[in-house]
Amino acid sequence: MTEKKKTYIEDIERTLYDIKDEDRSVYKAHSGLTEDVVRDISTRKHEPQWMLDFRLKSLEVYNSLELPTWGPSLEELHMDDIVTYVQPDAKMTGSWEEVPEDIKDTFDRLGIPEAEKTSLGGVGAQYDSEVVYHSIQEDMVKQGVIYTDMETAVREHEEIVKEYFMTLVPPKDHKFAALHGAVWSGGSFVYVPAGVHVEMPLQSYFRLNAAGAGQFEHTLIIVEPGASLHFIEGCSAPKHNVTNLHAGCVELFVKDGARLRYSTIENWSRNMMNLNTKRALVEKDGIIEWVSGSFGSHISCLYPCSVLHGENARCEFTGVTFASKGQNLDTGASVIHAAPHTSANINTRTISKAGGMATYRSAVKVTKNAPFAKCSVNCESLMLDNLSRSDTLPVMDIEGDEADIGHEAKIGRISDEAIFYLTSRGIDEEEARAMIVRGFVEPIAKELPLEYALEMNNLVNIELEGTIG
C-alpha cells in the first residue's frame, strides 16, 4: 500500500467576509476607556441623564472588577488599544436607498436586503457602533410591535427601556458586562404586545468594519404574555491584524405563555475576542428556544443563560461550534431552574480541526424552589484530525427535589470503519468525510434559518474540500 498524501485546507473560505471597506467613520472615540470617553458617547447620543448615570456607574464597576480567571486566556486583549465607539458616516434610516453606497454594498454581499424581501418581517443593520438601517412591516406596527435600534428606543420608549435595561445582566455580573454598561452602542429593541404572533422573523445584522474597535450592541426583547416571536441575529467582521472586541449583551424577557426563538450565527473574523453575554428570563409556561452557531472569532466565551422563573417554563438550546486553526471557542449554555416543573433540553455539537480548540461548558442549577425540574444535556464533539482539541465541562448543581437530570457527552473522531462503509457504497473518501460531518451537525442544521443552514453546509463542504485521501 502506498503512503497516502493528504492536503488540508486549514481555514474556511472567508473572502466574502474579509472584504474591508475604507474606514470613513465621522467620529471615533479615543482608544482606551476613561470617563471622558463615556460622557462623550452619551452626549453624542443625546441620552437622558439616567442613562449617562448608568454608564458612569458601570464604568466604576468595570474598574473595580478583575478579568475572569477561568476559560480561555484573555491576555491578548489590551483594553487601552480598543476603540469603544466608532460612528459611521451615516444616519439611521428606514430606507435602504439612503444607506451610503459602500455600507450598502457590504450588506448586499452578505445577502441582507435580499433576505428581507423574501422571508423577513423586519430588518436591522448595524455598521460599527451605530445602526444604519431599520425597517419593519406595516401590519406589525399596526399590531403594536416595536422593532427599532436601541438609541431610538431610549428616546421614544424610555419607560420600557428604563424598566428592563440591564436588569437581567447587571453591570456587576462580570467585567465585560460592566464594560458593556459603560460603552454600549447600537443593537435592537423589540417589543411584542400580549397575544401578538409575529409570523415572519425579525433579523438584525451586525458588522464591525473599523480596525481595533469594539462592538457593544445591546439587544433587548420583551415578549408579552401569550405572544410569540422569532428573532435572528447575524454577525461578521473583516480581518484586521489588530484585535477587535465584541462584548454585546442580549436580554430576553419571555412572559407567561409567550414563546421566543432566538437564532444567532456568528462569523466574526479570526482576530475577534467574542465575549458576549446573553440571558433570558422565562415566566410561567413560557418557552425560550436558542439556536446558536459559532464559526468565527479568535476567542469566544458564549454561554446563553436561561432563567426558568415561572412554573412550567421551558428552554430548548441548540448549538453548533466549529473551531479551526488559531481558534479557541469556549461555548455552551447555562440554565437556572427556579420554579417547579421547569424543563430544559440542551443539544450541542462541536467540531474542531487544524489545531482548533473547542470546549463545551455548561452549568445547570436547580434551586430549592424547583421541584420536579427536568433537564437533559446532550453534547457531542468531533475532532477532524490529531492536532485539534475538544473538551467537555458540564457543571450540575441540584438542590430541588425530584429532579430528573440527564447528561450525555461524546467526544470522537471520524471512524475509519465509517469511511470504509461509505466508500464501499461507491462514495469517494472526500464526500464520505463530508457526509459524516454533515450528518454529525444535521440535528442542529435543521434548526437553523434556511440561509444559514445553507451557509453552514457550505462551510462544511469548503472545510473538507482538498482533504485528498
Partner 1 sequence: MAEKLLEIKDLHAGVEDKEILKGLNLSVNKGEVHVILGPNGSGKSTLMNIIMGHPKYQITSGTMEFEGEDMSGLKTFERARKGLFLSFQTPEEIPGITVENMIRTAKQTITGDKVKLVPFRKELKAQMQELKMKPEYAQRYMNVGFSGGEKKRNEILQLLMLQPKLALLDETDSGLDVDAVQIVSEGVAKFHNADNSCLIITHNTRILEKLKVDKVHVLMNGQIVEEGGAELIEDINSRGFTHILDAQNEAK
Cell numbers found for residue 75: 491576555
Q: Report the distance separating Cα 341 and Cα 465, nearest Å.
A: 47
State the Cα–Cα distance between residues 332 and 346, nearest whole angstrom.
9
Closer residue to partner 1, CB minimum distance, 75 or 416: 416
Q: DSSP code of 96?
A: G
List of residues 6+ apart from 219 with CB closer than 8 A? 150, 187, 188, 189, 204, 233, 248, 249, 250, 251
Confirm if 323 and 298 have CB atoms less than 8 A apart.
no
Taking the complex as a whole, the smallest distance from the CB of residue 421 to partner 1 amounts, in Å, to 4
- Asked if 218 contacts 249 with a C-beta cutoff of 8 angstroms, the reply is yes
Query: Rule CB under 8 A: is residue 417 a binding residue for partner 1?
Result: yes
Q: Does 427 bind partner 1 (CB under 8 A)?
A: yes
Under the binding rule (CB under 8 A), the answer on residue 408 touching partner 1 is: no
Q: Which of 415, 458, 465, 468 binds partner 1 (CB under 8 A)?
A: 415
Answer yes or no whether residue 420 interacts with partner 1 by CB under 8 A.
Answer: yes
Q: Which stretch binds partner 1 (CB under 8 A): 62-70, 318-326, 436-444, 447-455?
A: 436-444
Choice between 411 and 418, CB closer to partner 1:
418
- The nearest distance, CB 414 to partner 1, in angstroms, is 10
Q: How far is the CB of 436 from partner 1 (least distance, A)?
A: 7
Q: Which of 74, 363, 422, 462 binds partner 1 (CB under 8 A)?
A: 422
Number of residues that bind partner 1 (CB under 8 A): 27
Q: For partner 1, which stretch binds (CB under 8 A), given 187-195, 313-321, 336-344, 435-443?
A: 435-443
Which range in 51-59, 84-92, 385-393, 430-438 contacts partner 1 by CB under 8 A?
Answer: 430-438
Residue 221 to residue 95: CA distance in whole angstroms: 23
Q: Which residue has the cell 449554555?
A: 333
Candidate residues 160, 194, 435, 462; the one interacting with partner 1 per rule CB under 8 A: 435
Burial class (CB in 10 A: 0-12, 13-18, 19+), 381: buried
In the complex, the smallest distance separating the C-beta of residue 200 from partner 1, rounded to whole angstroms, is 28
Among 439, 454, 466, 468, binds partner 1 (CB under 8 A): 439
- Rounded to the nearest 5 degrees, what angle is found at the Cα of 446, between the Cα atoms of 441 and 451? 105
168 alpha-carbon distance from chain centroid: 17
Q: Does 442 bind partner 1 (CB under 8 A)?
A: yes
Q: Binder to partner 1 among 423, 457, 461, 467 (CB under 8 A)?
A: 423
Q: For the window 251-270, what string marks contact with partner 1 as x by the rule CB under 8 A?
A: --------------------
Contacts of 259 (CB under 8 A, 6+ apart): 223, 227, 228, 229, 286, 287, 289
In degrees, to the nearest 5, what angle opens at C-alpha 303 toward C-alphas 298 and 304? 125
What residues make contact with partner 1 under the rule CB under 8 A? 1, 4, 415-418, 420-429, 431-432, 435-436, 438-443, 469
